[in-house]
Amino acid sequence: MRDTRHEIKAVIFDLGETLLDFGKIKATRLFRQGARLSYDFLKSCGQPAGCFEYYCWRNLIALRFRHLISNITKKDINSSALLRGIGKKKGIKLDGQQWRHFAWLWYEPLSKIATTEPKIKETLIALKGLGLKLGILSNTFVNAHSLEKHLEQLGLLDFFTVRMYSYEFDFRKP
């Protein structure tokens, strides 16, 4: 008789530096690239984005401050909601799809530098072939839509039936 009490039924992956490798990043440069993309999008939609430097610095300071607080409280922020809140205070009005695209534009420069292990798909196929359920559990302040769009572009999203991101909860994973 087989002992199923200790049988592995699922594998949970972290996102950053496990499924996606970002390497050494230049955070301020990537931030400015995301700021430029999102600013240009707002301008193209006729939104009151103001001058670029103010837009960039205002968002950078707000995100860095909230990130500092989140490191103290151990509760990740929803960066998309924070940026949307800043925008709404400035009179920016977008529909749901536009806000999701806006959030993606902030993340897009980071998505372009991410790499994966060479045989990641083959590995995930093999794990699924063993009957294992696969999930993602990640400490992040990047919104789910942007992360999942990135995973979809890489052909990885459908491997993971469960995806949980710390900003959606009151605590981070250990």
**Over the chain (174 residues), what is each successive 10-residue block's mean pLDDT?**
76 95 93 98 97 97 94 92 95 97 98 96 97 96 96 98 94 85
Tell me which residue range forms the domain holding 21.
10-168
User: Is the residue at 109 inside a domain?
Assistant: yes
Count of beta carbons in the 10 Å neighbourhood of residue 94: 17
User: Is the residue at 58 inside a domain?
Assistant: yes
How many folded domains does the chain comprise?
1
User: Is the residue at 125 inside a domain?
Assistant: yes
User: Is the residue at 173 inside a domain?
Assistant: no
The position carrying tokens 């992360």 is 147
- Predicted TM-score of the model (pTM): 0.89
Interstrand relation of 162-165 and 10-13 (parallel, antiparallel or unpaired): unpaired
Q: What is the pLDDT of residue 174?
A: 80
Q: Which tokens belong to 174? A: 């250990």
User: Is the residue at 3 inside a domain?
Assistant: no
User: Is the residue at 24 inside a domain?
Assistant: yes
- Our CA angle for 90, 74, 142, nearest 5°, is 45
Assess contact for 116 and 136: CB atoms under 8 A: no
User: Is the residue at 50 inside a domain?
Assistant: yes
